[in-house]
Amino acid sequence: MSRALAPGAYLVLDLAVTEAAGHRPGDVARAAALHGVGTVQVRAKLAAPGAFVEAVVEVARGLTGTGAALVVDDRVDVALAARSRGARVDGVHLGQHDLPAADARALLGSDALIGLSAARPDDVRRALTDPAVDYLGVGPVRLTSTKPDATVAVGFDRVRDVSADARAAGRPVVAIGGLGAEDAGVVRAAGAHALAVVSAVCAHPDPGAAAAALVTAWWQPATHLVAVAR
């Protein structure tokens, strides 16, 4: 059985954004996890494979003892290479054009945590019937510079619709794309299991403080969340 996805704050640790802000990936990951972030996804769209593996190993070292899950964006080969170096890598988050989830599951094992980005209706339907997929990523909720290939924002209504379908299928949803702590109430009220951020933590002068604010906002009382969502 694969590891359950932690609810709440989910950090997409983008190497380019993190390094541009003058932070070390391992330090950002550890600060976020110590403040309650349950999942850290390492993303490196432009990095060479070797540098990507080294960053994943560094992040895994930073997460030691925190209990946070570590997943690698897109690259099953990078996840396997980091594991071969002794890093604890829990799984991968895949896009629609990456290795199929079933193949990733075969390579990473039955206990791997495997996410899949799915926002279009056909993609969602396929994902919800794929036994290899543990959770769905839905976005971008808003267009953002950290995802320049996205041309259409799905909005909060789409998060609500996919979350309802995913809940019926027993799959959690992570909302992502231009989000921050101020959006936590709306995202949670829409039915998402977790809220993913990139720049809100990675580009912040104090990533730990930013992560703490995100976690606090997510776990506000339900009465407050309803008021925000309206």
- Distance, in Å, from the CA atom of 202 to the CA atom of 20, rounded to the nearest integer, reads 9
Q: Are 31 and 97 in contact (CB under 8 A)?
A: no
Tell the burial category of 33 from Cβ atoms under 10 Å away from its Cβ (0-12, 13-18, 19+): buried
Token pair, residue 142, equals 């808003």
The secondary element (H helix, E strand) that includes residue 79 is helix 76-84
The answer on whether 17 is annotated among ligand-binding residues is no
The answer on whether 186 is annotated among ligand-binding residues is no
The answer on whether 220 is annotated among ligand-binding residues is no
The answer on whether 133 is annotated among ligand-binding residues is no
The answer on whether 98 is annotated among ligand-binding residues is yes
The answer on whether 120 is annotated among ligand-binding residues is no
Degrees to nearest 5, angle at CA 67 with 58 and 74: 55
The answer on whether 43 is annotated among ligand-binding residues is yes
The answer on whether 73 is annotated among ligand-binding residues is yes
- Distance, in Å, from the CA atom of 113 to the CA atom of 104, rounded to the nearest integer, reads 10
The answer on whether 230 is annotated among ligand-binding residues is no
Token pair, residue 46, equals 């432009």
- Distance, in Å, from the CA atom of 152 to the CA atom of 115, rounded to the nearest integer, reads 21
The answer on whether 76 is annotated among ligand-binding residues is no
The answer on whether 210 is annotated among ligand-binding residues is no
Q: Is the dihedral of CA 119, 113, 79, 63 positive or negative?
A: positive
- Distance, in Å, from the CA atom of 17 to the CA atom of 203, rounded to the nearest integer, reads 6
Nearest to 57 by CA among 86, 18, 34, 17: 86
The answer on whether 178 is annotated among ligand-binding residues is yes
Q: Which residues are annotated as a binding site?
A: 41-45, 73-74, 98, 117, 144-147, 178, 198-199
Q: Which residues are annotated as a binding site for Mg(2+)?
A: 74, 98
